[in-house]
Amino acid sequence: MLNAMHLIVRSLPQAARREVRYRLNLSQFAPDDRTPEQLLDMALQRAWRERMRLSPYVGAQRLLAGARNRLRAEVNAARERATS
């Protein structure tokens, strides 16, 4: 379990950088928006806060993926509000 968790956590910064590059290419992010590290920090903080609300049987990967998806939705909504 710890080995799997280590692999997941180790891959998160690269995934965040990839996501930001993708969003920049789609013009959904501006170069001065949050950095990949800031987005990752926000997602991890959210996952930590939400861990007690979720079933103890929810795996770490699903917990982190859910937090990432909710954060992505919030960032997109904030971006849309800023451009309208």
Could you report the average pLDDT of every consecutive run of 10 residues in the chain (84 residues)? 67 82 83 80 78 68 74 76 70
Residue with tokens 């982190």: 64
Closest CA to 44 of 18, 21, 20, 68: 68
69's tokens: 């998806």
3's tokens: 């080995």
Dist CA 68 CA 57 (whole Å): 19
CA 18, chain centre distance (Å): 11
Closest CA to 4 of 54, 67, 63: 63
Q: What is the DSSP letter of 34?
A: -
Q: Is the pTM of this model over 0.85?
A: no
